[in-house]
Amino acid sequence: MLLIRCPYCEEERPELEFRNAGEAHIARSANISGESDDDFEKFFFIRSNPKGIIYERWRHMHGCARFFNAVRDTVTDKFIMTYKAGEPKPSKLPGVAK
Amino acid sequence: MSGAFRIPSAGRLKQAKTARFSFDGQSYAGIEGDTLASALLANGVHLVGRSFKYHRPRGILSAGAEEPNALVEIKRDAARKTPNVRATVQELYDGLAAQSQNRWPSLSFDVGAVNDLASPLFSAGFYYKTFMWPKAAWKSLYEPKIRAAAGLGVSPDQPDPDHYSSRYAHCDVLVLGGGAAGIAAALAAAETGVRVILADEQAEFGGSLRFETGARIDGQDGFAWAQAAIARLQGMDNVRVLSRTTAFGYYAQNFVGLVERISDHLSAPGHDLPRERLWQVRAKRVVLASGAIERHMVFADNDRPGIMLAGAARTYLNHYGVAVGKNVGVYTANDSAYAAAIDLKKAGVNVAAIVDLRDHPTGPVIDEARALGIEVNFGRAVIRAGGKLRVSSMTVQPKNGGGERTIPVDAILMSAGWTPSVHLFSQSRGKVAFNDETKRFVPGTYAQDCASVGACNGTDGLSATIDEAYAAGEKAAKDADAKTAKGNKPKVDASESWSRGMLGAAPGAGPDTTVKAFVDFQNDVTAKDIRQAVHEGMRSIEHVKRFTTNGMATDQGKTSNMHGLAIAAETLGKPIPEVGLTTFRAPYTPVTFGAIVSHARGPLFDPTRKTAIHRWAEAQGAVFEDVGQWKRAWYFPKAGDDMHAAVDRECVAVRKTAGLFDASTLGKIEVVGPDAAKFMELLYTNPWEKLEPGRCRYGIMLREDGFIYDDGVVGRLAPDRFHVTTTTGGAPRVMNHMEDYLQTEFPHLNVWLTSITEQWAVIAVQGPKSRDIIAPLVEGIDMSDEALPHMSVREGKICGVPTRLFRMSFTGERGFEVNVPADYGQAVWEALWAEGQKHGAAAYGTEAMHVLRAEKGYIIVGQDTDGTVTPNDAGLDWAVGKKKADFVGIRGMARPDLVAKGRKQLVGLKTKDPKVVLEEGAQIVEDPKQAIPMKMIGHVTSSYWSENCGRSIALALVAGGRDRMGDTLYVPMPNGVIEVEVSGMVFFDETGGRLNG
């Protein structure tokens, strides 16, 4: 069972308390009804599914109930870091060679 | 007497404590401290089972968890039958009853052994090839026959009466394996004061010190040192010592699963004792001290009972005081088997000969064997074992060919070398590395905060092992935050040491032979099978494994993996590291379902949710249905009623007088804050800004893709406060959906969301008499139609307690939903019930609720919609705010496919024969005479008998449905085609006059 650090609780808690909520940093357009079909397809259907570093949303469901962002390596399953919702995508990842 | 093969001068068991046991109905005596295997061997019993595929007689190979052969059923009573118990780890208790498996009619005469003669049919991958034709016969004939003939134990057929427990634990240093290495590491860590857990699968700690008579530590015998060290560790507050505890799985971030066997070794376990305890341990550092497992020699008929690992024979002698034979032969490719021969010889057992595959080995053990007068042969191979139910001879030949010589023996001790037990390391996602010099895989690259020490790390010799383990224990403690280290490293005075050996088939079982030289005993895989798999095109070791099933049995290939790999590599003409190991998977040894499930079974498997009115409904004889975790009253039968009679009566009563319905399970969310209306505008299709406080609206929630996600009536209690209802099953996901948008997409909105499902009990009172029933109990609310019109909400009191009183209807009748704090739910229900009795009201359940709403064409999300239905498809366009610039789903709803013509639309269906009730889920076609497969244009979503309409009614999703009004369609069923007419969705009171009736 993984340990996940909730950036709001500032604590590592077991995976059981969390729910994955899909890929992070996919912004909903402020003018969504004016979006083209292609743009809407990219926003709603297309996900990156990388082998390696993924940016994703998690929710501390059975804890503070906050949504936050996490960087995880899909190969090792390791969480590299977590940060609050709304914060920008981190440019430097601890312990990860560029 | 505890067996003819017991040697009183040998072993550590106290002769005084006898334990009686039975095997296949025959009674025997053993000694307390025996395993079932040692007690059987003490009685001269080697034949204990039949093999998986060929039904060959099998004996006891090992003295530990790696045992592939000696699998038995242990039966305490009819419900406590455990199949596939390894006799080598089952501790003996007085009264133990064991049965052999996979044989009929008896162990010594087994009809299934005909498979052995027919073995050419059953070679590698036989089930992929032999039984391919005719195709239909696989399911009906071949598979059931093969399953009956193969397989090992039989599962118990009664519920498990035992109970199990489960614990979480945290520690600084977790040491897995309690041999010399594990104990040394635990001592080093424990003496620094950190929290230590030490676990070992055996009843007694010591590991290989159980048989290594040459080991001396701190001036005492190795095993005695181990017991003293364990006693010291047990006395330390910061240490938990777990015996009979197997680490079965090593998961992410040093999370390790252990299972502790608590009562399987007891003669009469008390009911207060769990059978097993699951430990889920999170450790800062893990020290792996899992030891090494001896390999057998791969030669013809190496599976005859009486042929066993040399280290096992030594364990039986030195620990249990049992001689495994009277005249034993030894077949080896390394030094360790010599020690077994020497110990047995000294105990008075005749050692017929040592056959050593090596050409010119030298060393003290060889000299000692010779000095004891044991015949030692170098450069020779055992090419065959004689005997059937028990080995009777070994045939020896120079390994490069030459004259054969047959030596009579009653046991053969073999050793091809020792395989480091890297299972847990590998499970931790560490990568093993092949040491070409010693021909073994050892831990290479670590993936977690752990260290391997001793034999599992390929470290040879007790002295080097203790140095390494002690240092690793100290370091683990330091890394996990130890303050000071102040221990005394144990001093090794004498030790045994060996390494090397051989991998693969021995001479006489090479590629030019067709003999049965077993690699994997439990799955009956021979050297020939592995070569055949390669010849038939398997290139990857993973494919070879699956094709031959080598290493796939419950022993997980503990003795067979390396041999199988070496034979595959040789056949492929590749070096071993290029072929690579198969993946080690949890569990290390089988784990009971009971230990994993623990208390989470029966009523504790999943929480049951009951409403405040549940007990009243129960007392009234309600039949309940499960809706998610909720128990809901389904219908209220009176004496002699079947379900239909009850539902018909309830439906009629609601429309005639009134009905009471427990709607407490409805999801309820309070949306509060200055921006509450703005938030509602974004989450629901409807407009909310202009909804007056005190009024309600039917809301539809979409997902971003434009499909209906949930629905419910929403009341605006105040400008900044909405009381939102959701479907019963949808409440958690709607809350999650709202929170998601609030926290991440619309965080600028000042809104709070609170789940209030559990806080409010909801009593629906529906029917022409509903106001008459409620009014006398209500204070502070004007109940007139002018003051409280349909779709409005007021706060006031009922029966003296606060209420949120909704005027709304899910039946089409004048109706109310009385929300009261859940603690008062039953009291208010009972008061309303008493009032209702004056008017002839009935209680109705979820089935009548479904029928009544279908009569009015009110949809149920999840029944009439399935996640691909838009508001337009459901005929709910009116509920979508046309002037709104944004709401979740606004863009998805406009996708080309969602606005295309011919989409499935929700319509009503009337069967031509009003008595016929359609089946929900039935498919609909235009032309019943077309060729199969017919073109299906829709399906029935809801279907009931409506007593109020005097006919059946149905809702259906039909392609272009609203353009087909009055058309005849067809529902083909197994018993014939049903004709239906497409209709509107409202079957009763089309004008809606009864809402104010």
With 0-12 / 13-18 / 19 or more C-beta atoms within 10 angstroms meaning exposed / middle / buried, residue B557 is: buried
Residue B630 confidence (pLDDT): 96
CA distance B866 to B920: 13
Residue B33 confidence (pLDDT): 94
Three-class SS of residue B802? strand
Q: Which two tokens stand for residue B461?
A: 């010799």
Three-class SS of residue B190? helix
Do B297-415 and B165-292+421-494 fall under one CATH topology? Answer: yes
Measured between alpha carbons, how far apart are the two ends of chain A, in Å? 28
Preferred mutation among A1, A17, A60 to probe B, highest tally of B CBs within 10 A: A1
Domain spanning B662-853, CATH architecture = 2-Layer Sandwich (3.30)
CA distance A78 to B376: 55
Give Dmax over CA atoms of chain A in angstroms: 43
Amino acid in position B862: G
3-state secondary structure B498-513: CCCECCCECCCCCCCC
Of A65, A78, A86, which is closest to B739 when you measure between CB atoms? A65
Query: What is the 8-class DSSP label of residue B129?
Result: H
Query: What is the 8-class DSSP label of residue B430?
Result: -
Preferred mutation among A5, A13, A29, A33 to probe B, highest tally of B CBs within 10 A: A33
Question: Are B78 and B58 a contacting pair, CB within 8 Å?
Answer: no
Query: What is the dotted CATH code of the domain comprising B901-996?
Result: 2.40.30.110
**Three-point CA angle B110, B69, B344, nearest 5°:** 115
Q: What residues in A contact B891, CB-CB < 8 Å?
A: 32-33, 35, 40
CA distance B511 to B509: 7
Question: Are B985 and B875 a contacting pair, CB within 8 Å?
Answer: yes
Q: B165-292+421-494 adopts what CATH topology?
A: FAD/NAD(P)-binding domain (3.50.50)
Query: What is the dotted CATH code of the domain comprising A3-84?
Result: 3.30.2270.10
Give Dmax over CA atoms of chain B in angstroms: 115
Residue B485 confidence (pLDDT): 66
C-alpha atoms less than 13 angstroms from C-alpha of B483 in its C-beta half-sphere: 2
Of A2, A35, A66, which is closest to B253 when you measure between CB atoms? A2
Strands B721-726 and B667-672, by their bridges, are: antiparallel
Chain A, 30 to 49: residues with Cβ < 8 Å from chain B are 32-33, 35, 37, 40, 44
Query: What is the dotted CATH code of the domain comprising B503-581?
Result: 1.10.10.1100
CATH 3.10.129.10 given to domain B18-126? no
Q: What residues in B contact A61, CB-CB < 8 Å?
A: 736
Q: For B379-435, how does the pLDDT look when each residue is reduced to its tens digit (9 = 90+)?
A: 999 999 999 999 999 999 999 989 999 999 999 999 999 999 999 999 999 999 999
CA distance B26 to B3: 13
Residue B494 confidence (pLDDT): 87
Strands B255-261 and B245-251, by their bridges, are: antiparallel
Of B704, B736, B744, which is closest to A44 when you measure between CB atoms? B704
Strands B659-662 and B842-843, by their bridges, are: parallel
Residues of chain B with pLDDT under 70: 1, 120-122, 125-139, 141-151, 484-485
E strands along B719-841, which residues?
721-726, 752-755, 760-766, 778-779, 792-798, 801-807, 815-821
Residue B133 confidence (pLDDT): 63
Neighbours of A33 (CB within 10 A): 14
Domain spans, chain A: 3-84
Residue B200's closest CA among B221, B216, B214, B186? B186
CA distance B400 to B397: 8
Domain spans, chain B: 18-126, 165-292+421-494, 297-415, 503-581, 662-853, 901-996
Question: Are A21 and A59 a contacting pair, CB within 8 Å?
Answer: yes
Amino acid in position B791: M
Is the ipTM, as predicted for this complex, more than 0.95? yes
With 0-12 / 13-18 / 19 or more C-beta atoms within 10 angstroms meaning exposed / middle / buried, residue B641 is: middle
Q: Crossing angle for the helix pair B643-656 and B846-855, nearest 10 degrees? A: 60
CA distance B235 to B260: 20
Q: B297-415 adopts what CATH topology?
A: FAD/NAD(P)-binding domain (3.50.50)
